[in-house]
């Protein structure tokens, strides 16, 4: 993402909301200092794989992956810290947000359900930025419909043998450790899915295809061919994989909303700065009432998404309550509103807004995937409705 010309970072006014405590204000200062150090802007983003590796290493060295991994598995994950980190990183650099998020999503299930041996082997290395992690749930015919999963594992003594493919796997091709969800057949549908830890050097594991997308990040189809792994790499009990996946997603789904907030806030900040400086009809673009009306809509959309996002995170952290519905609301509203905010920013920039390399053009590509991954907007609506109907 292009560096700002005169913007230093996102506003911190919202830290006065009652969702936050002093630890989050200290984290915000740490994040701002990290961004100001040039740790991100000095990384060459032309080679996405190497850039991602460098970003993970930098985040680990700065101690910022604590928020993604629960301090290497020694503490519960603080959802507000994860959201605050993603929002800040997204404002500065979309690939940095991605890199941070995947360190958490890729190991969340290990922290929740892994053996003490697995936790000690994996989580500290991911926390330090020495290892890169991935979360392998989706398949070509099983995205939102997880029950349609075909990739399978069969028990063979004290091992499991995995066969099949997973696709749309973020960090596929560069990850050291993968949390993989496969069908083990204990029961029909989602009740017959189990979760395993697979390492990149396990025999029978390979990268079938690298996938290019509009906002570049490491993405691949991965393949298992008679991939034999120890039964000790099973997470939880056989047949508990779907529950583990949903618990993991519930932790990090609100953070997707937070990333959308970061993108949207950057778009609004850039649009305001541009409109105030852009001459227009003998005045400035910012003096036009239509421009001001757009800013009003953009600001309200951002704040509504932020309130839902940090409510969901606070509810999980402080109240210890389920957040399935609240996180779904946050993701749906924040990502959809961010798309509208960024589209407005492109319009305000005019022709410059769609020029390759401009910040608005980059944000326009970055935001689109957030309305799809970890449950598309349409799926979030179904989740919200189902939770309401349970009452």
* Catalytically active residues, by annotation: 374
Distance between start and end Cα atoms, the chain = 44
Query: 159: which strand partners?
Result: 156, 230
Cβ neighbors of 341 (< 8 A, separation 6 or more) are 264, 267, 268, 298, 301, 302
Are 195 and 241 in contact by the 8 Å Cβ rule? The answer is yes
The DSSP call for residue 3 is P
Tell me how far the alpha carbon of residue 291 is from its chain's centroid: 31
Residue 198 backbone phi and psi in degrees, to 5: -125, 135
Sorted by sequence, the CB contacts under 8 Å of residue 130 that are 6+ apart come out as 57, 60
For residues 6 and 10, give the distance between their C-alpha atoms in angstroms, rounded to a whole number: 12
Helix axes 377-390, 324-349, angle to 10 degrees: 150
CA atoms of 145 and 182, how far apart (whole Å): 14
At 101, list the tokens: 């998020």
Tell me the C-alpha distance between 73 and 121, whole Å: 11
Cα–Cα distance for residue pair 137/194, rounded to 1 Å: 11
Q: What is the DSSP letter of 20?
A: -
The CA–CA distances, whole Å, from 349 to 149, 271, 366 equal 44, 7, 17
Question: Whole-angstrom Cα distance, residue 188 to residue 357?
Answer: 49
């Amino acid at each position: 993402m292009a560096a700002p010309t005169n913007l230093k970072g996102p506003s911190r006014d919202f830290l006065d909301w009652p969702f936050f405590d002093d630890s989050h204000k200290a984290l915000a200062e740490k994040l701002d200092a990290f961004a100001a150090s040039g740790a991100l802007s000095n990384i060459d983003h032309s080679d996405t794989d190497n850039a991602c590796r460098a970003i993970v290493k930098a985040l680990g060295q700065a101690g910022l992956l604590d928020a993604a991994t629960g301090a290497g598995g020694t503490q519960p994950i603080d959802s507000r810290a994860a959201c605050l980190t993603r929002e800040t990183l997204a404002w500065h650099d979309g690939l940095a947000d991605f890199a941070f998020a995947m360190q958490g999503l890729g190991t969340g299930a290990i922290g929740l359900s892994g053996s003490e041996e697995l936790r000690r082997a994996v989580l500290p290395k991911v926390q330090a930025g020495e290892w890169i992690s991935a979360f392998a749930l989706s398949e070509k015919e099983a995205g939102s419909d997880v029950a349609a999963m075909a990739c399978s594992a069969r028990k063979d003594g004290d091992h499991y043998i995995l066969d099949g493919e997973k696709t749309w796997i973020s960090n596929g091709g560069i990850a050291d450790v993968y949390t993989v969800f496969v069908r083990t057949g204990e029961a029909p549908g989602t009740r017959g899915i189990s979760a395993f830890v697979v390492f990149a050097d396990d025999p029978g594991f390979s990268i079938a295809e690298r996938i290019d997308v509009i906002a570049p990040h490491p993405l691949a189809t991965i393949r298992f061919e008679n991939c034999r792994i120890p039964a000790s790499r099973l997470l939880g009990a056989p047949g508990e994989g779907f529950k583990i996946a949903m618990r993991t997603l519930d932790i990090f789904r609100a953070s997707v909303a937070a990333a959308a907030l970061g993108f949207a806030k950057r778009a609004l900040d850039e649009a305001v700065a541009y409109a105030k400086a852009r001459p227009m009809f003998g005045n400035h673009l910012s003096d036009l009432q239509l421009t001001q009306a757009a800013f009003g809509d953009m600001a309200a959309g951002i704040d509504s998404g932020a309130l839902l996002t940090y409510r969901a995170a606070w509810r999980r952290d402080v109240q210890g309550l389920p957040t399935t519905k609240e996180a779904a609301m946050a993701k749906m509203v924040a990502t959809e509103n961010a798309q509208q905010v960024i589209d407005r920013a492109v319009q305000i920039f005019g022709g410059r807004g769609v020029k390759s390399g401009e910040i608005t053009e980059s944000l326009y590509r970055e935001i689109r995937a957030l309305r799809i991954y970890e449950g598309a907007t349409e799926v979030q609506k179904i989740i919200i409705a189902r939770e309401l109907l349970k009452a």
